[in-house]
Structure 1
């Protein structure tokens, strides 16, 4: 980290992520205060998902042709004035400013993430990919703790205006952190060298893993508020403590990820997915809040390691010059999946007990892990029996 160029992305990610969490807490609180409508909050969260459908694939293709560093800096600077626009919201008549600002900021995030991941794949050697992706999970943990919890405290003590100013400053700070980063292309994608990437074999299993994980996490994300506020009646304090447990688990997961070696990344991923699903189902049945917080720590600890493993597998398997296109599509598919499942889970909670809905989310992960593992072993065995060494390599990576 001390001398590797990845450090600039890491520090920029922390500054950017914490600022975004500050703003999100303040915006949703302000929206609820002005409208008194939970539906308005739900609509705002739903709008954050929509840009991923179109912008992430577009950003990925652009990242394979333009300077990734310039795209990241430009995206940060373009978001800055919209982060400040929330300062002009004074009454319910100004709520439209909140919605416009949230859509634009979410659009920036949808554009930013696939470019950032493709940049990691470009500047990090394959032997270091797994450790770097472990650090990415630790980064998410830092953002959860430093952004969600601290953002709630700042908004409560000093008001949302300070949170909005800090968010705008974070975009500028993140852009400055990226300035020393050197953007050297490994390959030039032209008409003479068309991409030959194929969405099958091991990559197909990795994408299926991410979609199952997104469905599971869509339920879990919604249940965080339900557990903290409705089941244990602890309000914002309960939600904040649960986010803190998630952040702590993600930070610690780095120390497990860096020790996973060998050519069995997908096998590790399926096992971790099953364990994460089991943890989510167990969390839904907890009757003690400390035990629930411990279950949340376990879920994010295992989930962080699983996410790092699969991202590493995809980065190692993606040809140079095609990282943006691959991660653009993946970001689009998984985020839309999370949004749809969150909406469906919200409907189910009105008709079924909360614990049953939470248990079903974990069950998705457990069943999905078993099915993927069995299919993976079958495909590998079939390739081996055919005596096709290329076929085996495509499946196992």
Structure 2
């Protein structure tokens, strides 16, 4: 049954990823076209990320307590579809726009945590976890290759009304879950699972990892602002933005394909791909500062490649070492703390750019902060098992 639920999750995530691409392009570009200000993008970022600061511990705990977790995923998709429809007539009201965006973002949390718990319930083997997470990411990234350029075209052609297609896709995903609403998702009480409960994580490790992630997210959060700053004066910038997102996805797809192969050969481990991903994303920050639009292409490719190595490995790391009954809560607390710096980064770097600070100076500073975070993470996780 768990394998069936996993395959179903791949399908529903596929439908959701196409809708996410529409949201990712249509929502900020609709706002930017209406206001003409990068500060509005900073505000959009704030309201997109605010739910990830406030709600992950609550939603994670709710998911941990629920044995019939599929019901929560179904509810998240249904409500998100309703909000996608509602934002079309209310898009001219900036504050209503921000509030609806916050609601959509909050529901994304619940669906993501459902998938995290589902995969964690299937195995404790590091290579299998890497393989399951990488397969899911491969499907999502393959679809994104088409979804982001399509989203750019739909946004250019229909504007905010492209969100109606997002609503249809979310509704289809919800309906696919209906036959499984009464299925329980839990980890079997094996000796390995009981041993997992005795794992003790030191305070030094927790503080070190959180500090490194806060630094890294602050640095990496600036990347999106640098891209908008380069494109905002271009005609049809939203179309090029969609193409760049597609290229980011190419990088992600190459990364997960390689990670899937290495996981099958049991060569990947959990920590090494994660640290490599952080380092590559820091390098992307340095490249994006080059004062030419063409520099965006290698920058976004490296960003996607490094980001997928980081994301898949970090999910597997938490699924391996955090007990299932507290996985959602632990991930929720972590995400809330890690997310809080991203909108702050967007607002700070947008403000500095609009005050005339050279972009190359800002990207160099962001790279140095990211490199510092990589070193701190490597040092604080030395005692953690690599597999």
Q: CA RMSD in A?
A: 3.1
Question: Equivalences for 1:93-132 in 2 at 5 Å?
Answer: 94-124=93-123, 126=125, 127-132=127-132
Partner of 2:121: helix, strand, or coil?
A: helix
TM-fit CA distance, 1:132: 2.1
Partner of 1:185: helix, strand, or coil?
A: coil
TM-fit CA distance, 1:103: 2.3
- The C-alpha deviation readout for 1:104-129, integer Å capped at 9, x for no partner, is 21222233333332232123553411
Q: What residue number does 1:184 align with?
A: 185
Question: Equivalences for 1:114-153 in 2 at 5 Å?
Answer: 114-124=113-123, 126=125, 127-139=127-139, 141-142=141-142, 144-153=144-153
Q: What residue number does 2:364 align with?
A: 359
TM-fit CA distance, 1:314: 1.5
Partner of 1:321: helix, strand, or coil?
A: helix
- The change in CA–CA distance for 1:61 and 1:70 in structure 2 (over 3 A counts) is same
- The change in CA–CA distance for 1:286 and 1:136 in structure 2 (over 3 A counts) is farther
Partner of 1:64: helix, strand, or coil?
A: helix
Picking from 248, 251, 275, the partner of 1:249 is: 251
- The change in CA–CA distance for 1:273 and 1:79 in structure 2 (over 3 A counts) is closer
Picking from 211, 217, 221, the partner of 1:218 is: 221
TM-fit CA distance, 1:4: 5.0
Q: If the length of structure 2 is used for normalisation, what is the TM-score?
A: 0.83
- The C-alpha deviation readout for 1:297-342, integer Å capped at 9, x for no partner, is 1231122112212221121111131111122122222222222222
- The change in CA–CA distance for 1:173 and 1:80 in structure 2 (over 3 A counts) is same
Q: What residue number does 2:307 align with?
A: 303
Retained in 2: the 8 A contact 1:187–1:320? no
- The C-alpha deviation readout for 1:67-102, integer Å capped at 9, x for no partner, is 221111111112222221123248x4x444423322
Picking from 323, 331, 334, the partner of 2:335 is: 331
Q: If the length of structure 1 is used for normalisation, what is the TM-score?
A: 0.81
Partner of 1:184: helix, strand, or coil?
A: coil
Partner of 2:276: helix, strand, or coil?
A: helix
Q: What residue number does 1:42 align with?
A: 42
Q: What residue number does 1:227 align with?
A: 230
TM-fit CA distance, 1:146: 3.7
Whether 1:341 and 2:345 are equivalent positions in the alignment is yes
For residues 154 and 282 of structure 2, the distance between their equivalents in structure 1, rounded to whole angstroms, comes to 34
Whether 1:58 and 2:58 are equivalent positions in the alignment is yes
- The change in CA–CA distance for 1:366 and 1:359 in structure 2 (over 3 A counts) is same
- The change in CA–CA distance for 1:331 and 1:125 in structure 2 (over 3 A counts) is same
Q: Which runs of 5+ in 2 are unaligned?
A: 190-196
TM-fit CA distance, 1:160: 3.0
Partner of 2:243: helix, strand, or coil?
A: helix
For residues 34 and 292 of structure 1, the distance between their equivalents in structure 2, rounded to whole angstroms, comes to 25
Whichever of the two has the greater Rg, that structure is 1
Retained in 2: the 8 A contact 1:57–1:328? yes
Q: What residue number does 1:192 align with?
A: none
Q: What residue number does 1:86 align with?
A: 87
Q: What residue number does 1:271 align with?
A: 276
Moved more, 57-66 or 150-159: 150-159
Partner of 1:303: helix, strand, or coil?
A: helix
Whether 1:164 and 2:163 are equivalent positions in the alignment is yes
- The change in CA–CA distance for 1:257 and 1:219 in structure 2 (over 3 A counts) is same
- The change in CA–CA distance for 1:174 and 1:212 in structure 2 (over 3 A counts) is farther
- The change in CA–CA distance for 1:44 and 1:298 in structure 2 (over 3 A counts) is closer
TM-fit CA distance, 1:61: 0.5
For residues 159 and 235 of structure 2, the distance between their equivalents in structure 1, rounded to whole angstroms, comes to 24
For residues 34 and 271 of structure 1, the distance between their equivalents in structure 2, rounded to whole angstroms, comes to 39
Retained in 2: the 8 A contact 1:286–1:292? no
- The change in CA–CA distance for 1:70 and 1:209 in structure 2 (over 3 A counts) is farther
Retained in 2: the 8 A contact 1:113–1:331? no
